[in-house]
Structure 1
Amino acid sequence: MSRNFSLLFDLDGTLVNTDELHFHAFQVLLGELGRSLTLETYQSRIMGATNDVIMREFFPDVPQSRHRQLADRKEALFRASVSRLEPTAGALELFDWACSRGVGIAVVTNAPRANAQLLLNGLGLADRIDTLVIADELARGKPDPLPYLTGLERLGGDARHAVAFEDSLSGIRAASAAKIYTFGMRTALPAQTLLDAGAGDVIDDFTAPSLWRMLDEAVQTVS
């Protein structure tokens, strides 16, 4: 099914702010191994990266055969810390807008499937998306454009008539490399950092007037 317009969302830090929970899980994991982690390091080198990349960078002295075990431990710590979830302001209204206009919705994430399903169910969004792209199940994750290209393909969409939403450097680089106009979410990183990574605009949440003006104009153009 071809789509006139598509919306592609990152999950963590974009549809829901889980950065504090992920940061704490990494702190616990590293603490168990006698190591530590600063918030700056988390934001610049971990946030938005795949577990494979994170494990190689932070545990080069640990046998690669143990990397999956360490990643699974971190994700289990994260899932155990998830309780009540609040969607980013304006997210539900944006999903309503998309549904009423037949706009395709994809969630494109570097998170494991178990995490993504937990969050989407907790937000009440699992049944409101058209496709869920798990980068870990593809040949390459973000910052490679493959996850976003896969999302577009599954939606029957076109990068020229699509918008992506991302909060991390790797995510913005991935969506931008897929030629999708990308809104940077100012969840954790400074606006200029997001723009330098390739974001076309920066917003605090989905209530931003600039977002709604752009969407209304874009949909009218392709209708």
Structure 2
Amino acid sequence: MTISSSKNSSSNPLSRLAPLEAVFFDIDGTLCDSDPIHFIAFLELLPQIGFNNGVPITMQFYVENFAGKHNDDVARFLFPDDFERGLKFCEDKEAAYRRLSKDKLKPVKGLDKVKKWVEDRGLRRAAVTNAPRENAEMMISVLGLEDFFEVVIIGNECEHAKPHPDPYLKALEMLNVSKDHTFIFEDSAAGITAGVAAGMPVIGLLTGNPEELLLEAKPAFLIKDYEDPKLWAALEELEK
């Protein structure tokens, strides 16, 4: 099923997408509020490597240096002279994250509502993430979304991860849909940058990252969560 709409509304950046074909979702911070759990995992493990002389990092430091970043970049940041040791740290951090997530992971507010909207219209959907596949599949399972996503695209399984456009371009290719009829939900500057570079409008979620940081990446607009009236006004207008 496709959604048709007049294309003369300049106020709604989604209007030009009609007929809508697909919606892509990031996972961390977009489907679930996972940044606080990643932050706890970093707090647990960074002192073990003597980072910052054992002084705990702040949430602001986490957001500026780790949130939405690919683990290769995190590894190089933490161990600029020993990439392999950096990758081992990231593996340990992800294992800690999975352990902590089992009881703490919660969906972003309104996720069920937007999921039903997408399903009711027969739209194609992909999860596109920089998370390792083990993390991505765990989060999708905990959230009960195994049957919702047709494909799960992993950044490190592409030539380049986000903020490069490759993961989103791969999702378009795998679902055989057009960038001119697809939009994206993202929560990080790296993710928004990737989606915009792939030629699609990106709706940014203010689930963890600062508004000014996300705006620099040029999202179509920002929403608090999936119950934000701004989102539903845009979707309603798209369907007219």
State whether TM-score is above 0.5. Answer: yes
Structure of higher CA gyration radius = 2
- Which residue, out of 16, 25, 29, partners 2:45? 29
State the distance in 2 between where 1:211 and 1:29 align.
38
State the distance in 1 between where 2:144 and 2:76 align.
34
TM-score by length of 2: 0.85
Deviation at 1:94, TM superposition (A): 1.1
| Residue matched to 2:111 | 91
Are 1:12 and 2:47 an aligned pair?
no
- 90-99 or 115-124, larger mean C-alpha shift: 90-99
Deviation at 1:84, TM superposition (A): 4.4
Contact 2:79 2:85 in 1 (8 A): no
Deviation at 1:57, TM superposition (A): 1.2
- 150-159 or 126-135, larger mean C-alpha shift: 150-159
Where do residues 174-213 of structure 1 align in structure 2 (5 Å cutoff)? 174-213=194-233
Contact 1:84 1:122 in 2 (8 A): no
State the distance in 2 between where 1:153 and 1:125 align.
22
| Residue matched to 1:124 | 144
State the distance in 2 between where 1:32 and 1:84 align.
23
| Residue matched to 2:234 | 214
| Residue matched to 1:144 | 164
State the distance in 1 between where 2:227 and 2:83 align.
44
| Residue matched to 2:8 | none
Are 1:165 and 2:165 an aligned pair?
no
Identity of aligned residues (%): 37
Contact 1:152 1:159 in 2 (8 A): yes
Contact 1:144 1:174 in 2 (8 A): yes
- Gap regions ≥5 residues in structure 1: none
Where do residues 109-120 of structure 1 align in structure 2 (5 Å cutoff)? 109-120=129-140
| Residue matched to 2:13 | none
Deviation at 1:171, TM superposition (A): 0.6
Deviation at 1:218, TM superposition (A): 3.1
Residue 7 of structure 1 aligns to a residue in which SS? strand
- Which residue, out of 55, 59, 70, partners 2:89? 70
- Gap regions ≥5 residues in structure 2: 3-18
State the distance in 1 between where 2:120 and 2:60 align.
40
State the distance in 2 between where 1:86 and 1:48 align.
18
Aligned partner letter, 2:141? N
RMSD: 1.7
Aligned partner letter, 1:210? K
State the distance in 2 between where 1:161 and 1:217 align.
15
Deviation at 1:46, TM superposition (A): 0.9
Contact 2:184 2:195 in 1 (8 A): yes
Deviation at 1:210, TM superposition (A): 2.1
Deviation at 1:4, TM superposition (A): 4.3
Residue 213 of structure 1 aligns to a residue in which SS? helix
Aligned partner letter, 1:67? G
Residue 199 of structure 1 aligns to a residue in which SS? coil
| Residue matched to 2:59 | 39
State the distance in 2 between where 1:57 and 1:104 align.
36
Deviation at 1:162, TM superposition (A): 1.3
Contact 2:74 2:86 in 1 (8 A): no
TM-score by length of 1: 0.92
